[in-house]
Amino acid sequence: MDLHELHGVGVGRSVAVGTVLRMPDPIPEPPVTERNGDAAEENDAVTAALAAVAADLTARGVKAGGPAQEVLDAAAQMAQDPMLAEDISTRINDGSTGERAVFDAFHTFQKMLTDLGGYMAERATDLGDVAQRTIAHLRGVPAPGVPESDVPFVLVAADLAPADTALLDLNKVLALVTRDGGPTSHTAILARAKSIPAIVGVAGALDLADGTMVIVDASTGAVIVDPDSDQIADAQRRIEERAAAISAPITNGALADGTSVPLLVNLGNPDEAPGAVELGAEGVGLFRTEFLFLGAQTAPSVESQQASYTTLLQAFPGKKVVVRALDAGADKPLAFLTDAHEENPALGLRGLRVLRVKEQILRDQLTALKGAQDATDADLWVMAPMVSDAEETEYFVRLGRELGLNTVGVMAEVPSLAVLADQVLAVADFVSIGTNDLTQYTLAADRMLGSVASYQDPWHPSVLRLIKMLGDAGNAANKPVGVCGEAAADPQLAVVLVGLGVTTLSMTPAALADVRAELATVTLEQATARAAAALGASTAAGARTAAASV
Ligand code: PEP
Ligand code: MG
């Protein structure tokens, strides 16, 4: 087969050159055979295998630390899920072998999650991994995992289990290429956090043979197969430029003419704060509070919330910290807020809409934030997600002020809010643009759906024009308008955003160095010219090219 270039969704911006090493094939499906042995013995063996797998995953988590630990702990919890254990035991008692019972029970559960779609469907892969590890343990064979090699390689797999991604040896794995997975799969999340170039959702990935030379270009989502020497030289140059950018001294974000563009970070847990400060975070542009409570069955108390927020704020003395009120719904259901079944959850009762219905939960959260504001000397800003217009803005700002918060604003994620930006900025202290959702809603493309991933491109001129409306309104009202979606982590787009009037950029900490380096290469005049060129394009690809040619 002639494979010159394969395509998928790039994660991060970096490039790698190396030879392919394929992940070993998964353990084959256990046959459906009659159980010969004793049910009690088989049950005991499965219980022991599940416990061993859980312990192994937990131990790997402790070794990995950070976001990887959360992923591995969640996988360990799956191995100890009582519902699954009961299902397995029932199957064994009904005559199944232990291996087959594990396979069937996990498979049923996996299917249930897949049918739920979105965030839940992406967790289904994790379940499959736990099942494979358990079956391997029962068979006494090694668990499936990343291959060993003496030389660095590009890892190619159908998909990576969280346990594998979390523990990747960064000295050995140059890049990841997977056939499955979308931009929000664990492979993507962990690759981004570890700054490994990755391309997910690559059809044909498994046709790449071991030893094939490839260039993995995450910025374009292309895997170049058997590149020529010019292509390799170009990739090497980009790798060196990036290495230089990353090792450059940490300074505050600024353009070449000295225009300040504060570089902030997106966090989901106070534990991530010290690492972000080390990478030069000038504050927090988005703290996703719902990540603290994804597993909670009941609403968290004011006291426990206040403790978490205080820990976060203490990591940023004198700095700006933007905390977002709970953004529940769609791919992030919270048991205590979202219970209704919806056909189109992204268009449903989510974000501020559900907080307004359950106002006491919102009041408790804002009260906890006020407590943290008073207990620390960070500059706390609070904002609401999924806000549609000035009336909703007014509701949230009024409540925030009533409860004593100093600075209250809203996210721009729904196009209607951008269209009415002047009205919104007359009421809010600031606006922060969530480009992930703004793109999803502007292009009417579910951000969790791989089949429409190509629409999920914040370079689309329609999205850029909405951002310009927000930037202009912020400028006219003399109020800050930041960006906290993934778009801010794309260095070329970050320049365009500044040219559109955006005043701060907030991103995953791993992206800070690249964005800082790119901003330093342009003046405000040049950024504005690039923005104007991008606005005139008719497609996302056209906007990229237009901005680059200025
Ligand atoms: C966004 O929508 O761009 C955003 C930052 O919020 P989240 O990704 O949490 O929906
Ligand atoms: Mg959002």
**Is residue 434 within 6 Å of ligand 1 at its C-beta?**
yes
**Is residue 331 within 6 Å of ligand 1 at its C-beta?**
no
From 119, 264, 288, mutation site for ligand 1 pocket: most ligand atoms within 8 A of C-beta: 288
Instruction: Clarify whether residues 126 and 163 are in a common domain.
Output: no
Count of alpha carbons within 13 Å of 142, Cβ hemisphere only?
A: 7
From 266, 322, 411, mutation site for ligand 1 pocket: most ligand atoms within 8 A of C-beta: 411
Number of the ligand 1 atom closest to the C-alpha atom of 436 = 3
State how far the Cα of 410 lies from the Cα of 408, in Å rounded to an integer. 7
Q: Any idea which residues carry the catalytic annotation?
A: 186, 484
32 inside domain? no
Number of the ligand 1 atom closest to the C-alpha atom of 440 = 2
Domain count, the chain: 3
Instruction: Clarify whether residues 428 and 539 are in a common domain.
Output: yes
Structural domain including 174 reads 4-24+146-229
State how far the Cα of 212 lies from the Cα of 204, in Å rounded to an integer. 14
Instruction: Clarify whether residues 194 and 298 are in a common domain.
Output: no
Number of the ligand 1 atom closest to the C-alpha atom of 487 = 3
Distance 436 CA to ligand 1 centre (A): 5
498 inside domain? yes
541 inside domain? yes
Q: What is the pLDDT along the chain (550 residues), one digit of tens a residue?
A: 455 899 988 887 789 999 999 987 778 889 988 888 899 999 999 999 999 999 999 988 888 777 778 888 888 999 999 999 999 999 999 999 999 999 999 999 888 887 776 666 767 778 888 999 999 999 988 777 787 788 999 999 988 876 677 677 778 899 999 988 766 566 776 787 778 899 988 989 999 999 999 999 998 889 999 999 999 999 999 999 878 877 888 999 999 999 999 999 999 999 999 999 999 999 999 999 998 987 788 999 999 999 999 999 999 999 999 999 999 988 788 889 987 788 898 999 999 999 999 999 999 999 999 999 999 999 999 999 999 999 999 999 999 999 999 999 999 999 999 999 999 999 999 999 999 999 999 999 988 776 787 788 899 999 999 999 999 999 999 999 999 988 998 899 999 999 999 999 999 898 899 899 999 999 999 999 999 999 999 999 899 899 988 9
The CATH number linked to 464 is 3.20.20.60
**Is residue 286 within 6 Å of ligand 1 at its C-beta?**
yes
DSSP-based three-state secondary structure for 410: strand
pLDDT at 453: 76
| Sequence-distant (≥ 6) Cβ neighbours of residue 249 within 8 angstroms | none
Instruction: Clarify whether residues 436 and 526 are in a common domain.
Output: yes
- For ligand 1, atom 4, name the residue with the nearest CA: 434
**Is residue 122 within 6 Å of ligand 1 at its C-beta?**
no
338 inside domain? yes
Which string of b and e fits 33-67 if b means at least 16 CB within 10 Å? Answer: eebeeeeeebbebbeebbeebbebbbebbeebebb
How many residues are recorded in the chain?
550
Instruction: Clarify whether residues 126 and 50 are in a common domain.
Output: yes
Instruction: Clarify whether residues 345 and 482 are in a common domain.
Output: yes
Distance 360 CA to ligand 2 centre (A): 22
Distance 412 CA to ligand 2 centre (A): 9
- The answer to pTM > 0.95 is no
Which amino acid does the sequence have at 517?
A
Number of the ligand 1 atom closest to the C-alpha atom of 437 = 2
Instruction: Clarify whether residues 347 and 384 are in a common domain.
Output: yes
pLDDT at 1: 44
**Is residue 289 within 6 Å of ligand 1 at its C-beta?**
no
**Is residue 436 within 6 Å of ligand 1 at its C-beta?**
yes
237 inside domain? no
**Is residue 484 within 6 Å of ligand 1 at its C-beta?**
yes
Number of the ligand 1 atom closest to the C-alpha atom of 433 = 3
Judged on CB neighbours under 10 Å (0-12, 13-18, 19+), 303 is exposed
Nearest ligand, measured from the Cα of 456: 1
Label the pairing between strands 173-178 and 153-157: parallel
Instruction: Clarify whether residues 425 and 301 are in a common domain.
Output: yes
